[in-house]
Amino acid sequence: MRGLGTIVNVATVVAGCLVGLALGHRVPERLRETVIAGIGLMTIGVGVASFLATENAVFPVVSIVVGAIIGEALRIDDRLERVGERLKLVAERNRPDPTQSRFVEGYVTATLTFCVGALTIVGSLQDGISGDSQLLIVKAALDGIVAVVYTAVFGIGVGFSALSILVLQGLVTVLGAIVGDNLLDDRMVAEMEATGGPMIVGIGLLLLDIKRIRLASLLPGLAIAPLLVAVFAR
């Protein structure tokens, strides 16, 4: 069934959020900080490993630079935060002091974590092309676990990242169903993974409170990488 992987992914993030909301207040602040720092360190490691997938570092470098230019021109990061602000108004309109909420931070951080990376694109394409949702189901399990921890730290905003997953993975799945199985080859996937690597490192830096980078504005680089391979590496 095409689209099953995205449905499962959305469900696991929502379920993880509910578990995080139920357990979050019982977890000591010190433990939450330590766990999120550990996830930040692991995220950096994953990002570095992803970058090493490249066969030519010029491709991810150019992809990120061009992607940043496009992303800043379109103000993608600002738009993502505005979406978070609007969702916050709906979700927390009855809170006594919404100014203390970390809703937007949780929504943006979770959206970037769950949507950056070659697995999101490749898994969705595979789901659309052949109906094979195996990659997305593996991703869904990982996302659900992370959602529990994120929700314990950031709150309910994490659960609303499921909407971002639904939109992005749903669109890519539809694209895969329309275009067919000749869209990406192994080299394109490798360079796209390498391009996503530094973005994943940026998520780790954010979780460690080291540096806030406008990562959403770098996302067009994921589409630029396979295009560069198609033009210059064939």
From 12-21, 23-32, 186-195, the region with the lowest mean pLDDT: 23-32
pLDDT by residue (tens digit) across 128-160? 988 889 999 999 999 999 999 999 999 999 999
Q: How far apart are CA 194 and CA 197, in angstroms?
A: 5
- Alpha-carbon distance values, 228 to 30, 42, 58, 126, 222 (Å): 45, 29, 10, 21, 11
Q: How far apart are CA 177 and CA 173, in angstroms?
A: 6
Q: What is the pLDDT of residue 179?
A: 80
Q: What is the pLDDT of residue 206?
A: 92
pLDDT by residue (tens digit) across 67-93? 999 999 999 999 999 999 999 988 877
* Inter-residue contact 122 to 138 (CB < 8 Å): no
Q: What is the pLDDT of residue 115?
A: 93
* Whole-number percent of the chain with pLDDT over 70: 95
* Inter-residue contact 161 to 167 (CB < 8 Å): no
**Which tops the pLDDT comparison, 98 or 140?**
140
* Inter-residue contact 75 to 217 (CB < 8 Å): yes
Alpha-carbon dihedral 58, 77, 119, 200, rounded to 10 degrees: 60
Structure pTM? 0.88
Q: How far apart are CA 199 and CA 213, in angstroms?
A: 9
pLDDT by residue (tens digit) across 158-173? 999 999 999 999 999 9
Q: What is the pLDDT of residue 132?
A: 87
Q: What is the pLDDT of residue 16?
A: 96
